[in-house]
Structure formats: C-alpha cells, structure tokens
Amino acid sequence: MLYLHRQGFIHRDLKPENIIFETKDLHSKIKVIDFGTSCAYEKGNKLKKKLGTPYYIAPEVLKRNYDEKCDVWSSGVIMYILLCGYPPFNGPNDKTIFQKVLEGKFAFPEEDWSSISKHAKEMITRMLAYDPAKRISVQESLQHPWFKANTVAVKNSNKNNVLNNLKSFRADTKLQKAVILYIISFFDLKEEKDELLKTFKELDLDHDGQLTHDELMIGYSKLMGEDAAKKEVDRIFLTIDVNGTGAIDFTEFCLATVNHKKLLSRERLTQVFKMFDTDGSGTISRDEIKNFFSMNEGSDDSFAQELIEEVDKNGDGEISFTEFKEMMEKLFTNKL
C-alpha cells in the first residue's frame, strides 16, 4: 500500500478476497489484486465516488469525502478480522453495516482478544481512527512497534554479488533496456526474481517497494568509501531509473541485477524477436517498433527511429535478427 500511495494511487476496495498467495508454498509472497476501483489521486484532493465493500469501507467514503487514508481503514479492518475471525462492524445486512461504520464504534471483546498484544490493539485503534486526519498513514503503520516486532528480517548472503551486478550493469541502447524489462515483466522468472527480491527487501529499509538514493548509499558505503559510493549510486540512477521517479522499483532493480546470460538465451531472444516482427519478414521495421510499444498511429516517429538507428548496423532502416541478437548479447559480453 505504501508503494501504491507513493505512486499516486488509491486501491479503494481492500479486503481479504483481494489479497492472494502467489503459490501454495508456506512462505509464498502475497499480492494485492483487483484494481478495478482504484484510481489516481493528488495529495490534498478529496474523492467523492462511493466505492468499496460493506465490511471494509471507511466512513468518509460513505460520506463521499475521502483520500488515501480510506485504504488504511480497510487494512485495519482486515487486521482486526485476521486476529479474531469476525469484522469490527457487523450486521445482518448492508444497511446495518453501513450504519455501524458511520458510527465508527468498535471493541475488543475480552473472550476473543485477551491473548492479543496491546501493541496490536493500539495499532488497529490508530488505523480505525474515525477522523482521517487523526488516522495513521501507511508509512506510520510500517513504523509502528507491532509491525516492527512482527517483521522478519531478511538475511541474504548473496547481497554483495547482487550489488556488484548492479554496479557493473551497462546498457548501450534504449532497446536493450526495453527488451529486458519486457522479458522480466511477461516471462516466468519466478525462481530468479525470488532470490533478487530478498536482496531488494534487505536494501529497502522503509519497506515502500522502492530503493531511494540514500538506501543504495547505505548498501554501497559498506563496499567502498562514501565518495566512491555516491559516484556509483549517481551513475546507477542515471542508468536504471527508467521511469524517472527518483527511486528504483523492483522491476528496474531486476533490469540490472538479473543473470543476463541466462535470461537472454537464443530461444528466448527468438521468441521476443518474433513478437516484434509481426509480419514475419525477418526484420523489425519502424512501424513494428511503434506497435510493440503501443504508440499511437499519429505519434512522433522519432523514438522508434532512434531505437532502430542505435542497432541498425547495415543502415537499411530495419533490425535483423542478427543485429538484434548481437545488441542483446553485449549486455553480458561487456562484463567478461
């Protein structure tokens, strides 16, 4: 939720049904799904549309005057249910539930909550503060003593290797980056991404799903002097912060730290090339570049042309498979 809010989005329908396990493994990652009611928002603005599920909806949403704190309320309700098995605002029908939500009064019955810590109850109470201005934010929730006490520290012996891969990453062309990001996003790389995620979490000190300049500085200062670390981190951000947010998200992190030689097998490169080459001509044209990146028909051709010129060695205005393969293989041959 912290990552989502920092990107300027509100979910608006958080509930247990929208939190899923990635696999059946005991230590599976969880994912938030169903963004059908989510929306972009600007800090300070209030939303008016009444959306959500009765048990989890915040009172200010029912009043049609709310912001991102509605997600905190829903998260507090989820936490309450996980700890005792029933919702804090209950009733035989939606009308009764909405009325109880609007009243905002809830309790911790002794028979069900006697074994629950005071920190857990205090955190729920702060998440379910009726006045959104007095309700804690997602960031404050992550800093709460209960959350800190129940967060398992990730220890990863591979951290230095990953940081060295990040440091040595060089991309000669924009198309190289685009192809790797596509493979990372749409191909099954679960095993390798799981390992990289351990290091990412260890570096992500505030748990917001992004690595800031300061967080990377802490990681690299342990490997080299502070001056050298700053120079290296500055270069990494210029190379890897593809979307220009001022922070590195996990996909961008994978871009530089994934095993490129393993990632870019001939079979996988052939598969991606065919996704570009929609007419089966054996070359990638400017229009096929535009189609692949979903550029509008009337949009400026300069970006697509630039990508082609970076790779087109024989100057025929198109990219052959040989040119494509050689471009991608430079990512790992340059490291040798």
Residues 307-318: tens digit of each pLDDT: 888 888 888 889
Q: What value, to the nearest 5°, has the Cα angle with vertex 12 and ends 210 and 209?
A: 10
Active-site hit among 13, 204, 277, 312: 13
Residues 148-174: tens digit of each pLDDT: 887 665 555 567 778 887 877 777 778
Q: Give the mean pLDDT of 275-288.
A: 90
pLDDT at 118: 94
pLDDT at 336: 42
Among 15-24, 127-136, 253-262, 326-335, the range of highest mean pLDDT: 127-136
Residue 220: pLDDT over 70:
yes
Mean per-residue pLDDT of the chain: 87
Residues ≥6 apart with Cβ < 8 Å to 297: 290
- Using alpha carbons, list the distances in angstroms from residue 249 to 13, 116, 139, 149, 253: 24, 35, 17, 25, 6
Domains in the chain, ordered, with CATH? 2-149 (1.10.510.10), 159-259 (1.10.238.10), 264-333 (1.10.238.10)
Q: Is 13 assigned a catalytic role?
A: yes
Categorize the per-residue pLDDT at 105 as very low, low, confident or very high, splitting at 50, 70 and 90. very high
Residue 184: pLDDT over 90:
no
Residues 46-104: tens digit of each pLDDT: 999 999 999 999 999 999 999 999 999 999 999 999 999 999 999 999 999 999 999 99
Distance CA 68, CA 38 (A): 10
Residues 13-51: tens digit of each pLDDT: 999 999 999 888 887 888 999 999 999 999 889 999 999
Task: Indicate the SS3 state at residue 336.
Answer: coil
pLDDT at 109: 94
Q: Give the mean pLDDT of 277-301.
A: 80
Categorize the per-residue pLDDT at 10 as very low, low, confident or very high, splitting at 50, 70 and 90. very high
pLDDT at 214: 92
Distance CA 228, CA 285 (A): 42
Among 63-67, 257-261, 278-282, the range of highest mean pLDDT: 63-67
Q: Give the mean pLDDT of 133-155.
A: 83
pLDDT at 76: 97
Distance CA 119, CA 109 (A): 16
Task: Extract the tokens encoding 289.
Answer: 């570049």
